[in-house]
Structures are given as C-alpha cells and as structure tokens.
Structure 1
Amino acid sequence: MTTDRLRFVLFLNGLFILALAVAMLVPAIVDFAADDGKDAIIFVSSAAAIGALGSMFIAAFKQDQIDLTDRRTGLLITVSAWLSVSIVGAVPLYNSGLGLSWTDAVFETASALTTTGSTILVGLDDMPPGLLIWRSLLQWLGGIGIIVMALSVFPALRVGGMQLFRSESSDISEKPFPKVHQIARNILIVYVSLTLACAVSLDIAGMSTFDAVNHAMTTIATGGHSTRDASIGFYNSLAIEIVTIVFMISGALPLAFYAVFLLNRGKRSAIEGQIIPFLSVLAAAILACTAWNISQGMSPPVALRLSAFNVTSIMTDTGFATADFSTWGSFAVGLFFMLYLVGGCAGSTAGAIKIFRWQILFEGTGRALRIMLYPQAVVPVRFQGKSVDDVAISNVRNFFFLYIMTLLFMSLLVMATGLDFLSSISSVAQAMANAGPGLGPVVGPATNFAAIPDTAKWLIAFAMVIGRLELVTFLAVLQPWFWRR
C-alpha cells in the first residue's frame, strides 16, 4: 500500500466526516423548531467540531489525481469509512443531556449506522426530537450506504467506483446500469421514493407525522430504531403493522430491482432470481411460527398477526417488535435464531448471510451429493439464469465457514465478559446480521443492551461493523499481505 493511496483514503474519509457534520444540522433544525435550543446547540457545536476535523483531513491529504488499479484501496476506503463515521457520529450523543458514556454513545451510533437497531437507550417516548431524528437519520444514511451515496461524485475524483460498489454490496449479479453514477443515482431515487411512500402510508395508518418520518427512515433502512420504547407494539395498530411489514420487505429486496423494473417497463430481469426464494422462505417461516403459537394456546388470528410481523422483522434484519418472542418457547427461539442468519437479498439494505448465498450453497451441495452417486455426471449450478463456476461456489462455502467461525469466536469472547450462553450467542448473531434484538431476558425484545458490560458492548459493536461490511471485506484488511506494496 503506497503512501499516495493511504493519503487518498484519508482524504475520502475527510469527505465522509464532513458530510456527517452537515447531516448534524438536520436534528439541530428540528430542535430549534421544537423550541429546544439547548439540544440544538449541542448538534451545532458537534457539527462545527466534526466539520473542522473533516476539513483538516481534506486539506492535508487532498490528491489531484489517483489511479485505482487494484481492489485494496477500495476495500480500505470501505472499512475505514464505516469505522470513522461510527466514531465521530457518537459525538452528539456523548455531549447530549442523556449522560451516556463514550462506550454507550459509540455503541448506539454503530448500531444506527450499520442498521442493526440494538439500543442502550430508555425513555425514548420523552426524548428530545433532535436526538430521535438523529438516530433515524443515521440508520437511513447507513441503509443506503455512505460509500454508495458517494459513488455519484467519484467520477469527478477520477475514481473507478464499480470495484468499490461491489465490495460494498457483495452482489454477484449482473451490472444493471452501465456507469457507476447511474447506479448511485437510480438506487438513491428508489431509496428516497420508498422512504416517502412509507412515511405517507404510516401517517395515513395513524402515526403522528414526526413518528411516521422517523419510522419510515428506519423501516426502509431495515434498521429498527423507534421513537418508542415499546417499538411498533406501542401503537397496537393492525394497519400500522401491515404497512410496516410491506415496507420492511420492500427494503429487503434488491434496490436495483425497482429501478430496472421501471426503466425496462416491467420486463423481467435477472435480478429477480433472489426475490421468489426470499419470499418463499419468509412465508414458510411465518406459517411455521404461526402453527407453533397456535399449538401453545394462541388464537389463530393473534398467532398469525404476531408471527407475521416479528418473523418479517427478524428475517429482514429490521428489528422492530410487537411482542417478546423470546418467551414463545424453544421452537420459536430456535427459529428466530436461524432467521438471524438468513437475511434479505443482495443489493438490499438487509444484512446477514443473504439469500443468494444460501441458494448457491444448497445448489452446490446438491450437486456434490449427486456426483457421489454418479461420478461422471455433469451437473451445473445455476443462479439467476447463469452457470456458477466452481470458484464462486468455493467462495460462498468459504464465506459460510468464516461467518460461523467468527460468530462462535466472538460469542466466546462475549461469554468471557459474564453474559450467559443464549444472551452472548444471540447478541453476536443479531449484531453480525444487523438484526436488532437478541434473545432471552437480558438482551431480548422486551429489554435492551444497557445492562451488559462495557467490554461486551465494544465486542458487539465491533460485530455490527463486521456484519455490515460482510465479513470478508473486513478480514481482508487485517491480513499482513494486504499492506505489502
């Protein structure tokens, strides 16, 4: 890694930090409008300090031109940007009147930016509006991906960009648009349009306008932060739950699918290859959970309503809740833990392993079993209408191995802080999947992460970032060979 490339990485980090400082003016304006000058000043002062830091990076490391010919610089930009904004974004929370420690402030910010939705905050119902909108805005920015948003300006900086987009999304599908800035522009248009549609729908369904805007941002981002301690369960509204389910699913589908569908005037696209399997698994999980809850004494309508919302929330890695599903019995707990690992479609705002990897894994395993019986048979593995080569299949298997080993290793470290087995492994699983609530009485849907040790909070926050970067991106940067010239 040359000095010029490291300077360029720091220069771009300065741009991201400066952009985050500008975003802090939004909650400042909200607080001023609510006659809360004290909290508004906190955001303004934080924006000034962070903006100055970002400007210093830009001025000190500005590059007239840089030619990116390998993936290392793109990977380092991706990793460093998520780490830097997770740290500087914690400044307003730390300086607020909530009395948060630096650990809690970073945990909350990392949870928001990675669209995880885990929280250490209580008393959300009475919290200043600026802080609530800041948490939601962080999740909204994290959902689209700060780096993906910046792709639209990369051509002016003489950056290739597509390589970075692939490291960010880990999408193996075909390139839907010919140029990077077209990808960024169309995805951003879709993202904003879905957010507006969700906000209007929630407002019509009965939420206040302020709550509707907040929940729209966190729903489309599949983030799960709420303005209420009881999450969506606070409203006890079937209409709100149905709207939220629809838009949680919308956020878990490939964002490029909407743009391709509209631009091609409804013609089918290869991007659709993940959608039907995703919806099929989701429907099967809802039916299984409903049947289990009925067998445990719930009435069928209540069982279907609770199962549909909470299963959708966990499988899309959103993290909203309308009930404490960790008390539904061992089958339900096991089902929800498995759903942590499934996730949404590649190219969506959802996290976890992603449905396309499961598709390739099952297809590849099926071929391996068949070849055991018929060694001379030619059994192709196909995905989205195209043949998948052995290298791609091997990469998916390697990803599964790394994911499970990282999950077990991080869980063991969290157990060493004193947490019980279920709390530890579910905390890490939801963090890596960017899902939100854990399982059990300590970190379950009815509680939060405030009571766990600080060391565990840092480990779980670290797992959130690893999960958001889809593991391999982060692990590659840690290798010694990555830094060699």
Structure 2
Amino acid sequence: MQKLSRLPLFVLVLGFAGAMMMIPAAHAAASGLGDIAANFLFSGILLIVLTALLAIAASGMATPGPHGFSVLATMLGVFGVLPLALGIPLAMSLPDTGLFNAWWEMVSCVTTTGATLYAADMLAPPLHLWRSLVGWMGGLFILVSAVSILAPLKVGGFEILSSPYGRNERFQPLPESAGGRRQAPAHLVDPTRIATPSARSISAFMQVGPYYAGLTLVLWVVLLLAGDPGLIALSRAMGTLSTSGISPVAGAVGGHSGIIGELTVFLFLMLALSRRFWPGGNQLKASDSLWTDPEIRLGAGVVVLVAAILFARHFFATIEQATQGADITTGIVISFQNAAVATWGGLFNALSFLTTTGWNSVDWQGARNWSGLESPGLLLAGLAIMGGGVATTAGGVKLLRVYALGRQSQRELERIVHASSISGGGRMDRRIRGEGAYLAFIFFMLFAISIAMTVLLVSIRQIEFETAVMLSVSALTNTGPLANTIALSPSFESSAGIASNPWEGWSGLAALPKTVLAGAMIVGRLETLAILALFSPEFWRR
C-alpha cells in the first residue's frame, strides 16, 4: 500500500480502468461475442502493461507533495485524457464510429452525464455494460476525489463551510490529561492530512468503495427480484448510485420492475442529496442533526413542491368535472387515482432530475397529461441546474449553494424590516449567510456565464437556439437525458456510425459542437472554481 501511495494518482486510475475491462470481456465471452471479448481483453492488458511501465518509470521520482496544480490537473486528465484509453475497445468494436466519437462517449460516461451518441438497440450488451461501468467508476472517482483532492484545496463546495481563518472553529477539543491514552496518528484520524494525493485517495477509496459497491449490489438484487432482466437491473443500479442515468434500454425505470423498482431507485437516489450519507462527509456537515441538514431539507422541499404543483394544477378542476357526471362516486374515485399517479410521477421525476440522473417514471407521462404540463423541459432543466448535494455524484449548482443564497436573501429581507437586528443561528449559519453566500453567488454567476459561452460556441454551427440551450444545459449539469425532454431539431452534419442516433440531438452534430459539449461536461463535473484555480499563480509555485 505504501508503494502504491507513491505512484501518481493518474497511473492508479489507469490501472484500475484496465482491470475493470476484464468484466465486459468476460461477459462478451459468456455471450458468445468473441470479437468484442478479444477487444476488451487486449485493451485491458494494454492498459495494465502501460500502468506497470509508468509505475516503474515513476518509482525513481521524488514523492509528490500536496501541490494544488498537480492534483487538479490529475482530475482534468481523468475526465479529459483517460476517456481516450477507455474508448479503445468501443472504437474497436464499432469500426465505423472512430476514436473521436468513442472518446466523446466515454467523456459523457466518466463525467456521469449519460448522454449517448448511439441508439440503445444498436449496441451489443457488453458495450452497454462497459458504458455503465465507466459511469459507475466516474461516480466512485468523484466521491473519492471530493474528500482526497477537493477538500484540502477548499473547492468543489467545501469552500462554503470552510473557515476563512484556516482552522476548525466548530469544535474545540478539551486539553489532554497527563495520563491520557495515546492518540492515533493524524493520517488515521483524518485522511486529508496525508501528504500525497495518491495516499489520500487510497484511504478515501478504502472508506467509500465498500459502501459504494455494496449498495450497488443490494440495489441490483432488489431490481432483479422486482422483475428487471440481469443487465438492465445492473445498469439501473450502477446508474442510480453514480447518477449517470445510463441504461441499455430506452424508456421508464419501471418498465419491467413496476412501482417496486421505481420506489427502490427513488430511495437510493436520496444518497445524492447530501454527502453525510457517505463516509468522509464530516467536513460538509452544516448541522449536527440529520433532520436539520440544509441540503436534505431543501432537496425534500423542492421535490415535494414540484409534486404538489403538478397535483394542484388540475385537481380541483378534475373533481368539478367528475362531480357533474351521472355517477359522482365513481368519478371522484377515478380522479383520486389519477391524482395519485400524477403525484408519484412528479415525485420520482423531480428527485431524478434534481440529482441529475435524468430517469423518467412510468407515470410521468400520465402526470403530464393529467396536470396539463405541455413543456416539461424548462421545469426539469431548472431542477437539474439546482443539482444535488455537494461532494456527491450529482451535478449542477448544488443544493448547499442554493441554500446559502436563500439564507442571505432571507437575512437581507429581515434587515429591511428590522434594520438594527442581529443575526443568530450560530457560527456556522452566519458563515453560510456571509462568506458562503458570497462564494455561492460567484459560482452561480460563473455557471451562468458558462451556459452562455457554451450556447454561443455551439451556435457557431447552424443549430436552433432551443436545441443549443438544452444541449448546453444538459452538458454543464451532467444530465444527459435532459436533452430528451423536448423535441430537439436533429442534425445530420456528422455521424457516429451505423449505430448512431441523430434524432437524439447529439450524434448528428459536427466535430466542433461535440468538442464544445464534451468540454462543457468536464467543466460541469470539475466545476468552474476548480478550473479557475488552475490559472491561479499560487498553484503554479513549486
């Protein structure tokens, strides 16, 4: 373990990706797809050999220190360069797609965006499994890097709760007695104190990995028992925990498993609302109690509010129409049944898009028809922009930043009414309203500028404005299925091969818009503040 901690983090991730290629290779061999199995086997061996060579070359180098530029550049390399290696078996299995389209597909997967260039029924099952695995690995990397990389640098959402004085002000430990027990080493108590990024990442992986894999296995088994086929259940499980929304089939989540499968997925999606559900989330606890956690309360409130709006939109009008019929009792019962269906569809889709997963409920279409919602794209885009919890697999602006802006707005309104009032709530609440709201506002403005710049660059080609906006928001919020919520104008300027699906709005784009959108996925995943930190002179000092 000590030898691994001295290797560059990118080398460790490359070796892990090569080892994971053996899973689709075994699946393809068991399915009788020898050519695809050979592609994954040879690609995996190639990456493992390359990892060994890089490890030997790096063994004589000095141990890397906690340099900000290096670790952020590593994350940028994982999201931008590693997909080239991940796309090799996909490009070999689809000879007419090209390495560029394979790289784009892997960028979408590893950033947990879930957008795809291909039709679901045109890809072989091992390729679907590989897409799901890459999205699953991307979610795991985000959970690990949030604690091991972003937390020490105070970016990625950790800046909201971090002390501006460089010390922990939340808890003041009591002085130790002369005969007290010996304290454990600092690196065992707090993995962020370990010097090398690789050591911190390995420590965080040992904490998060078992929970992440175990929850995926539990969800897979439950979906299998609910009626989903094996590959679909596994892809749904991995897509839920990573919030990638990658699935081997098109359609709603409950297409096979019904309401039981959707309810189970709904419960597991709640893990993307707060980091405190995962190990290593102590630095992001804005409250000591789970029930008073601002992210959980805000997320639950938004989900319930959206469902309530859909419920109340036409409920009373429907009741009035039902009572005018001959059989009043039957009409009221049917109205309540439709209302229950619409409420569940609204609840599931609200949480799905709030966590940037992007899956639809089997009752979502019924909810739209019953409530009279003609264009849901704007509503779902707003949920995706808000995003899930900080340091989770969800994308978007993040709930904690929205909460900080809301608390600051509330405080300003209080000062208008009571100009001499003194804010309360404790040290943490005051920090959220003060420095936290200031940083959240900066991030929100940068996010809005990123959307405008992405739309502008995508619109250089002749693409309709609505299509450019929806594709840009989908990429920056890492919610690929969001583009399917409206009817996009198809583009036929390019092709990803015979398996491509230009009607989805992605595969038919030219090389320039595709490159811009891939960059937007990376920016949305790494976040704008972290990318701007790469250009800071402080991070360039050796």
Smaller-chain TM-score bracket:
0.7 to 0.9
Following TM superposition, by how much is the alpha carbon of 1:143 offset from its aligned partner in structure 2, in angstroms? 0.8
Following TM superposition, by how much is the alpha carbon of 1:241 offset from its aligned partner in structure 2, in angstroms? 2.0
Aligned match of 1:195 in 216, 224, 244?
Answer: 216
SS, match of residue 293 in structure 2: helix
Following TM superposition, by how much is the alpha carbon of 1:17 offset from its aligned partner in structure 2, in angstroms? 1.6
Matched, 1:393 2:389: no
Task: Tell me how many residue pairs correspond in the alignment.
Answer: 464
SS, match of residue 54 in structure 2: helix
| Aligned counterparts of 1:428 and 1:200: Cα–Cα separation in 2 | 36
Aligned match of 1:319 in 346, 355, 358?
Answer: 358
Answer yes or no: is the 8 Å Cα contact 1:346–1:355 preserved in 2: yes
Which range is displaced more, 443-452 or 76-85? 443-452
| Aligned counterparts of 2:368 and 2:280: Cα–Cα separation in 1 | 38
Following TM superposition, by how much is the alpha carbon of 1:187 offset from its aligned partner in structure 2, in angstroms? 2.3
| Aligned counterparts of 1:241 and 1:91: Cα–Cα separation in 2 | 34
Which range is displaced more, 61-70 or 186-195? 61-70
Which residue in 1 is equivalent to 2:182?
A: none
| Aligned counterparts of 1:326 and 1:426: Cα–Cα separation in 2 | 20
* Equivalent position amino acid for 1:128 in 2: A
Residues 291/393 of structure 1: CA separation in 2 closer, same or farther (3 Å cut): same
Matched, 1:178 2:189: yes
Matched, 1:128 2:124: yes
The runs of 5 or more residues in structure 2 that have no matched partner are 163-167, 172-187, 192-199, 283-287, 319-334, 491-500
SS, match of residue 235 in structure 1: helix
Aligned match of 2:455 in 396, 399, 411?
Answer: 411
Which range is displaced more, 299-308 or 440-449? 440-449
Answer yes or no: is the 8 Å Cα contact 1:27–1:134 preserved in 2: yes
Answer yes or no: is the 8 Å Cα contact 1:31–1:37 preserved in 2: yes
Aligned match of 2:73 in 65, 76, 82?
Answer: 76
User: Structure 1, residues 203-247: CA drift from partner, whole Å, max 9, x if none?
Assistant: 111101232112101111111010103353643822222222222
Following TM superposition, by how much is the alpha carbon of 1:104 offset from its aligned partner in structure 2, in angstroms? 2.0
| Aligned counterparts of 1:286 and 1:383: Cα–Cα separation in 2 | 34
Which residue in 2 is equivalent to 1:94?
A: 91
What percentage of residue pairs aligned between the two structures are identical? 23
Answer yes or no: is the 8 Å Cα contact 1:21–1:47 preserved in 2: yes
Answer yes or no: is the 8 Å Cα contact 2:271–2:277 preserved in 1: no
Superposition map of 1:9-48 within 5 A: 11-48=8-45
SS, match of residue 480 in structure 2: coil
The runs of 5 or more residues in structure 1 that have no matched partner are 1-7, 152-159, 262-266
Which residue in 2 is equivalent to 1:154?
A: none
Which residue in 2 is equivalent to 1:155?
A: none
* Equivalent position amino acid for 2:235 in 1: N
Following TM superposition, by how much is the alpha carbon of 1:168 offset from its aligned partner in structure 2, in angstroms? 5.7
Which residue in 2 is equivalent to 1:402?
A: 446
Following TM superposition, by how much is the alpha carbon of 1:452 offset from its aligned partner in structure 2, in angstroms? 2.6
| Aligned counterparts of 2:350 and 2:153: Cα–Cα separation in 1 | 30
Which residue in 1 is equivalent to 2:511?
A: 454
| Aligned counterparts of 2:377 and 2:15: Cα–Cα separation in 1 | 42
Which residue in 1 is equivalent to 2:385?
A: 341
Aligned match of 2:116 in 116, 119, 132?
Answer: 119
Aligned match of 1:466 in 496, 516, 523?
Answer: 523
Give me the TM-score of the superposition, normalised by structure 2: 0.75
Which range is displaced more, 88-97 or 286-295? 286-295
Which range is displaced more, 176-185 or 359-368? 176-185
Which range is displaced more, 52-61 or 272-281? 52-61
Residues 355/62 of structure 1: CA separation in 2 closer, same or farther (3 Å cut): same
Answer yes or no: is the 8 Å Cα contact 2:6–2:63 preserved in 1: no
SS, match of residue 504 in structure 2: coil
Answer yes or no: is the 8 Å Cα contact 1:17–1:84 preserved in 2: no
Answer yes or no: is the 8 Å Cα contact 2:143–2:393 preserved in 1: no
| Aligned counterparts of 1:292 and 1:54: Cα–Cα separation in 2 | 57
| Aligned counterparts of 2:425 and 2:516: Cα–Cα separation in 1 | 38
For the aligned residues, what is the CA RMSD? Answer: 3.6
Superposition map of 1:49-448 within 5 A: 49-62=46-59, 64-66=61-63, 68-97=65-94, 99-122=96-119, 124-125=120-121, 127-145=123-141, 148=144, 163=151, 167=155, 170=158, 172=160, 178-180=189-191, 183-230=204-251, 232=253, 234-235=255-256, 237-254=258-275, 256-257=277-278, 268=289, 272-292=293-313, 299-322=338-361, 329=373, 332-372=376-416, 374-380=418-424, 387-388=431-432, 390-437=434-481, 438=483, 439-442=485-488, 447=504
| Aligned counterparts of 1:451 and 1:413: Cα–Cα separation in 2 | 16
SS, match of residue 300 in structure 1: helix
* Higher gyration radius (CA): 2
Answer yes or no: is the 8 Å Cα contact 1:219–1:248 preserved in 2: yes
Following TM superposition, by how much is the alpha carbon of 1:118 offset from its aligned partner in structure 2, in angstroms? 0.9
Answer yes or no: is the 8 Å Cα contact 1:361–1:396 preserved in 2: yes
Residues 201/329 of structure 1: CA separation in 2 closer, same or farther (3 Å cut): same
SS, match of residue 248 in structure 2: coil
Which range is displaced more, 93-102 or 269-278? 269-278
